[in-house]
Structures are given as structure tokens and as C-alpha cells.
Amino acid sequence: MKAYAKANIFLKLIGLDSRKYHLLSSRFILLEEFYDELCLSDEKTQEGFEIISDFRCKDNIIKKAYCLLCDYGYQKKLEELFQNKSLKLIKNIPTGAGLGGGSSDCATFLVMMNEILNLKLSIQELIALSTKLGSDIAFFLSGFKSANVSGCGEIINVFEDEIPNINWIFPQIFCNTSKVYKEFDKKKCDFNLNIKQAKIYENLSTKELLQEYKNTELNDLFTPCVSLYPKMSNYLQNNYFLSGSGSSVFKVDR
């Protein structure tokens, strides 16, 4: 099963919630040309749930999703499935690139288990579960190709979009999302102004946004990203747009 990437066309930070998590307003689009792949495999190297992959992650979000499903009453079904099977993950989406690869992998795993084990969970039930794992997962579960996303990433509203052809560059730079947000917090932000700007952006198509606005206007994280990772300055100066907290950048194909 394919786990598609996403891009942020705009990303405005509009406040903090009671937990001091950043509230955002963003346009997410699905990138169907870039994807990881997940499938069941007969290969086993250990007992129980196992992920077979060249990719190694200390705190793997798929394992967290497995444990969450177990906690919600599906442990027996999961243990029976993975007694003789493993989960194979073919990682193609760059990590630390602002493309949501980990969140997409997690969403795809949830959908796979729902289908294979006949858990009969609705999309809304899966989304409710996913909020305990990470915010961006909800978009991938929604099935939308373009959406305005708000809250901490869990509020998804489909958008009838016009998306131009986009050229991508994936710098070999791992951008740590947490560090980029902390860098953003070092400077004062007028959240009220950002709210007003976001309301304008939410009504414009992706094509209009990329034609009418500058890269730093659309993404509040571009400047802090460059502050932390100076090699990214070349892309800012050459009018590339940034997805998420980086490092993936893009331009409209003219």
C-alpha cells in the first residue's frame, strides 16, 4: 500500500493552545508522485510485531500506532496476524524534509490494519485515534488531495483546488521540526495579523498563492529554518517555497 507525501503550500502560525502547542493554518496538498510503500511480509527475524526496513527510527510512529490499536481492544487480532508476518516498509520519502513521510506511513498502517483485520473503524474513528499519535496523520486519513488544515493539524476541510505543475528539490539537509519551531519562538509574532492573512490564503487556490505571494509570506518557518540551517538560504534567496519546516523546496513549473 502506498503512503503518499504531502506539501504545505502556506503555513501560518496563529497562536498557542492550552498545552503551548502551536496552532496553525495551512494548505496541505497530496503528492502522489512521492510515496513510501508498506506491505505484509513472510520474513521474520523476531517474535511479535516487527518492521522490516532499511530505515531506522528510534521512536517509530508505526510501532506506537500498533500499541494504540492493542490498547483499544485489537491486541488479539494483531498478535495473530504478526505471529507469522512482519510489516515491510520501503522508505522513499526523504526524512526531515517537511513532507510528512512518518505521518503518512502511520496513517497507511492504520488503514491497512482496519482493512486486513476487518476492524470496521470509520474514517472519523481512525482520525480520532490518530490525534493521540500525531497531528498531520489526520490529513492522510481524510483521503483529500487538497485541504485547509487548522488546529494543531487535526482539523481538515477539503478544498476545491487548482494545483499547477511543481518542480521539487530535496536538499540533503535534515531539518529538525522541533528545533525550527523553537527558533520561530525566539522572535515575537503578531498572531492577529497572521490570522487575517491566513483567512485570505484559505480562499485562494494553490496556483494563486504561488503566483501572488513571496516565499516568506506563505511560510512562517522559512526564516527560522534558514537561521538554523544556513545552507537553506540559497533557496530562500532564489525564490523557492518551503514545505513545512523544511528542507524540501519547490517552484512552479513554468
CATH number at residue 127: 3.30.230.10
Per-residue model confidence (pLDDT) at position 219: 98
**Adjacent-strand bridge partners of 155:** 150
Q: Which domain, by its residues, includes 30?
A: 2-158
Residue 14 has pLDDT above 70, yes or no: yes
92 and 190, same domain (yes or no) = no
Q: How far apart are CA 251 and CA 165, in angstroms?
A: 9
Active site residues: 6, 136
Instruction: Supply the pLDDT for residue 253.
Output: 86
- What is the band of 58 on the pLDDT scale with cuts at 50, 70, 90? low
What is the count of structural domains for the chain? 2
Same structural domain, 135 and 173: no
Q: Please tell me whether residues 120 and 231 are part of one structural domain.
A: no
pLDDT tier, 55 (very low <50, low <70, confident <90, very high otherwise): confident
Q: Are residues 135 and 191 in the same domain?
A: no
Asked whether residue 59 carries a pLDDT value surpassing 80, the answer given is: no
Q: Cα(110)–Cα(229) distance, rounded to whole angstroms?
A: 34
Average pLDDT over residues 116-121: 98
Once rounded to an integer, what is the mean pLDDT over residues 27-49?
96
Residue written as cell 483499544?
72
Q: Mean pLDDT across the stretch 224-247?
A: 97
Confidence of residue 57 (pLDDT cuts 50, 70, 90): low
Task: For CA atoms 201, 207, 213, 217, give the dihedral sign.
Answer: positive
Residue with cell 496553525: 24
Given a contact cutoff of 8 angstroms between Cβ atoms, the answer to whether 246 and 102 are in contact is no
* 118, 193: one domain: no
Band of the pLDDT at 96, cuts 50, 70, 90? confident
Output the average pLDDT for the chain.
95
Residue 76 has pLDDT above 80, yes or no: yes
Q: What is the mean pLDDT of residues 3-15?
A: 98
DSSP 84-113: S-EEEEE--SPTTSSS-HHHHHHHHHHHHH
Using pLDDT thresholds of 50, 70 and 90, give the confidence band for residue 135: confident
H-state helical runs in 100-201 = 101-116, 123-130, 137-142, 177-185, 191-201
**Domain end position, chosen among 113, 140, 158:** 158
CA angle 91–183–137, rounded 5-degree value = 35
Same domain flag for 66 and 149: yes
